[in-house]
């Protein structure tokens, strides 16, 4: 007789797809022996803080993204904050961004003294809709901050055109989009700054970490200086074998530097970035094929002449067609011992922004609907074929389609 188990109030028959002791952790990164050896060697070297490994990781990343300048920092949040400051944001300047993002995007604007303004997303791409951005322009608009959501490049022609016509600067949030390209060029190089994340669930991880790409040397130098207390150029070298150097504080900066311990991981992660991307493409294609007959939304195909970063595989669970709510689906997947994520509840769902800016989810309805229906399935390069089979079985069983 089939066993009945209940999780989160949702009754299910049969055994879970995986046992509890094999719980599939959402976003667990693929980390190899090289990273482990490099971390150990870095600890043994005695130089753990910002130093030569950070410089090498910056150079490797700069080449990979075919950029002019790359500055490593402690997170993408720091990268966004410093980029907005370095671009010269003034108090009260408005920055138009997307409600379909992590809170860090909006918080960075607030911390840089700006006023965030939300424009709704396109329902298919889930990226900022340039027409909605245009509707939100005012005399106070200073910048546009698009997010390449899930790894899908935004409509950079339209957004770049808007920015150029209205004298605005563009800062790209590339937290999901390390490998993404738009019309043959890597994303992150279209705006004045491109900001990347190496958080633990990202396509390349340093556990915590970020990178700023800049086209202008002076911009890159300012970011570097602001990331280390506002100390003058190359202050990190003050303890190196080049002999003690005095540094001078030229601005009240921040403590946003990356360490060699983090870069030790990043250097080897980056060497495998394309292999990981190809592995995620295989997983993506298996999901696409396995879910084609299910009553759920699947990611739209990539736009022509773009390369998707394949960071998040998101499905949409609409209770009216799927037969269960999104939250019941999340609970059911967890009961099958498959970790899932939500990227994201739209930003106006959070009380802080409602109170501070009077935002309401209904004002950006596409983002609201996506945020209430979306589920991210495991997509790490670490997944085995068997893991993928388990995810597929669990999704099908949760939807009564096994």
Ligand X SMILES: Cc1ncc(COP(=O)(O)O)c(C=O)c1O
Tell me the closest approach of the beta carbon of residue 173 to ligand X, in angstroms. 5
The CA radius of gyration of the chain, in Å to the nearest whole number, is 22
Q: How far is 94 from 97, CA to CA, in rounded Å?
A: 10
Q: Is 75 in the site for ligand X (CB under 6 A)?
A: yes
Name which position in 77, 259, 334, 380 contacts ligand X (CB under 6 A).
77
Q: Which lies closer to ligand X via its Cβ, residue 104 or residue 156?
A: 104
Q: Is 199 in the site for ligand X (CB under 6 A)?
A: yes
Long-range contacts of 192-196 (CB under 8 A, 24+ apart): 192/83, 192/87, 192/216, 192/219, 193/79, 193/83, 193/86, 193/87, 193/219, 193/223, 194/65, 194/67, 195/76, 195/79, 195/80, 195/83, 195/171, 196/61, 196/76, 196/79
Q: Is 51 in the site for ligand X (CB under 6 A)?
A: no
List all residues 6 or more positions away from 218 whose beta carbon is below 8 Å from its beta carbon.
Answer: none
Q: How far is 20 from 43, CA to CA, in rounded Å?
A: 35
Q: How far is 113 from 191, CA to CA, in rounded Å?
A: 20
Q: Which lies closer to ligand X via its Cβ, residue 102 or residue 236?
A: 102
**Nearest Cα to Cα of residue 118 among 360, 370, 342:** 360
Q: Is 104 in the site for ligand X (CB under 6 A)?
A: yes
Q: Is 197 in the site for ligand X (CB under 6 A)?
A: yes
Q: Which lies closer to ligand X via its Cβ, residue 10 or residue 190?
A: 190
Q: Which stretch binds ligand X (CB under 6 A): 23-31, 70-78, 215-223, 232-240?
A: 70-78
Residues 200-239 that bind ligand X (CB under 6 A): 210
Q: Which stretch binds ligand X (CB under 6 A): 98-106, 275-283, 285-293, 377-385?
A: 98-106
Number of residues in contact with ligand X, rule: CB under 6 A?
Answer: 14
Which one of 53, 202, 237, 245 is the catalytic residue?
A: 202
Contact mark string toward ligand X, 174..193, x via CB under 6 A: -xx-----------------
Tell me the closest approach of the beta carbon of residue 366 to ligand X, in angstroms. 17
Angle made by CA atoms 187, 189, 193, in degrees to the nearest 5: 110
Name which position in 105, 141, 337, 346 contacts ligand X (CB under 6 A).
105
Q: Which lies closer to ligand X via its Cβ, residue 42 or residue 376?
A: 376
Give the three-state DSSP class for 147. Answer: strand
Name which position in 83, 97, 101, 374 contacts ligand X (CB under 6 A).
101
Tell me the closest approach of the beta carbon of residue 320 to ligand X, in angstroms. 29
Written as one string, the DSSP assignment of 210-258 is: EEEEESSHHHHHHHHHHHBTTB-TTGGGGGSTT------B-S---B-B-
Q: Which stretch binds ligand X (CB under 6 A): 38-46, 74-82, 321-329, 350-358?
A: 74-82
Tell me the closest approach of the beta carbon of residue 262 to ligand X, in angstroms. 11
Tell me the closest approach of the beta carbon of residue 75 to ligand X, in angstroms. 3
What crossing angle do the helices spanning 76-86 and 103-111 adopt, rounded to 10°?
Answer: 40
Q: How far is 228 from 53, CA to CA, in rounded Å?
A: 16
Q: Is 265 in the site for ligand X (CB under 6 A)?
A: no
Q: Which lies closer to ligand X via its Cβ, residue 195 or residue 214?
A: 195
202 tagged catalytic: yes
Q: What are phi and psi of 216, to 5 degrees?
A: -105, 135
Q: How far is 150 from 180, CA to CA, in rounded Å?
A: 10
Angle made by CA atoms 107, 112, 114, in degrees to the nearest 5: 85
Angle made by CA atoms 32, 33, 39, in degrees to the nearest 5: 100
Q: Is 94 in the site for ligand X (CB under 6 A)?
A: no
If you count them, how many residues does the chain have?
A: 402
Pairing mode, strands 169-173 and 141-145: parallel
- The number of beta carbons lying within 10 Å of the beta carbon of residue 376 is 20
Contact mark string toward ligand X, 119..158, x via CB under 6 A: ----------------------------x-----------
Tell me the closest approach of the beta carbon of residue 209 to ligand X, in angstroms. 7
Q: Is 313 in the site for ligand X (CB under 6 A)?
A: no
Cα 390 from chain centre: 25
Q: Which lies closer to ligand X via its Cβ, residue 70 or residue 328?
A: 70
Q: How far is 128 from 134, CA to CA, in rounded Å?
A: 11
Tell me the closest approach of the beta carbon of residue 246 to ligand X, in angstroms. 32
Name which position in 129, 173, 181, 219 contacts ligand X (CB under 6 A).
173
Residues lying near ligand X in the complex (CB under 6 A): 75-77, 101-102, 104-105, 147, 173, 175-176, 197, 199, 210
Active-site annotation, residues: 202
């Amino acid at each position: 007789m089939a066993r009945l188990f209940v999780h989160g109030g949702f009754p299910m028959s049969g055994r879970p797809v995986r046992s509890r002791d094999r719980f599939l952790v959402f976003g667990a990164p693929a980390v190899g022996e090289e990273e482990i050896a490099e971390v150990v060697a870095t600890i043994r070297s005695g130089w753990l803080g910002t130093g030569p490994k950070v410089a090498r990781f910056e150079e490797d990343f700069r080449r990979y993204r075919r950029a002019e300048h790359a500055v490593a920092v402690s997170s993408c949040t720091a990268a966004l904050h410093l980029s907005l400051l370095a671009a010269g944001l003034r108090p009260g300047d408005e920055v138009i961004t997307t409600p379909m993002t992590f809170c860090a995007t909006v918080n960075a604007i607030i911390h840089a003294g700006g006023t965030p303004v939300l424009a709704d997303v396109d329902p298919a791409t889930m990226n900022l809709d340039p027409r909605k951005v245009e509707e939100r322009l005012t005399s106070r608009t200073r910048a546009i901050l698009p997010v390449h959501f899930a790894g899908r490049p935004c409509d950079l022609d339209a957004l770049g055109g808007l920015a150029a016509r209205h004298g605005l600067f563009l800062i790209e949030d590339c937290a999901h989009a390390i490998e993404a390209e738009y019309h043959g060029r890597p994303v992150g190089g279209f705006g004045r700054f491109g900001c990347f994340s190496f958080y633990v669930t990202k396509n390349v991880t340093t556990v915590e970490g970020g990178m700023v790409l800049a086209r202008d040397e002076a911009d890159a130098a300012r970011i570097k200086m602001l990331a280390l207390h506002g100390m003058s150029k190359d202050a990190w070298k003050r303890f190196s074998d080049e002999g003690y150097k005095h540094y001078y504080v030229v601005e009240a900066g921040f403590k946003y530097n990356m360490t060699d311990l983090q870069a030790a991981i990043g250097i080897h992660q980056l060497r495998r970035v394309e292999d990981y991307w190809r592995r995620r493409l295989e997983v993506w294609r298996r999901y696409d094929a396995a879910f084609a007959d299910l009553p759920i939304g699947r990611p739209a195909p990539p736009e022509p002449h773009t390369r998707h970063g394949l960071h998040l595989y998101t499905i949409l669970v609409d209770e009216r067609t799927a037969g269960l709510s999104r939250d019941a689906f999340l609970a059911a997947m967890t009961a099958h011992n498959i970790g899932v994520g939500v990227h994201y509840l739209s930003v106006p769902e959070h009380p802080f922004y409602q109170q501070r800016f009077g935002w309401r989810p209904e004002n950006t309805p596409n983002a609201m609907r996506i945020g209430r229906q979306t589920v991210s399935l495991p997509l790490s390069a670490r997944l085995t074929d068997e893991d993928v089979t388990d995810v597929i079985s669990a999704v099908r069983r949760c939807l009564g389609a096994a």
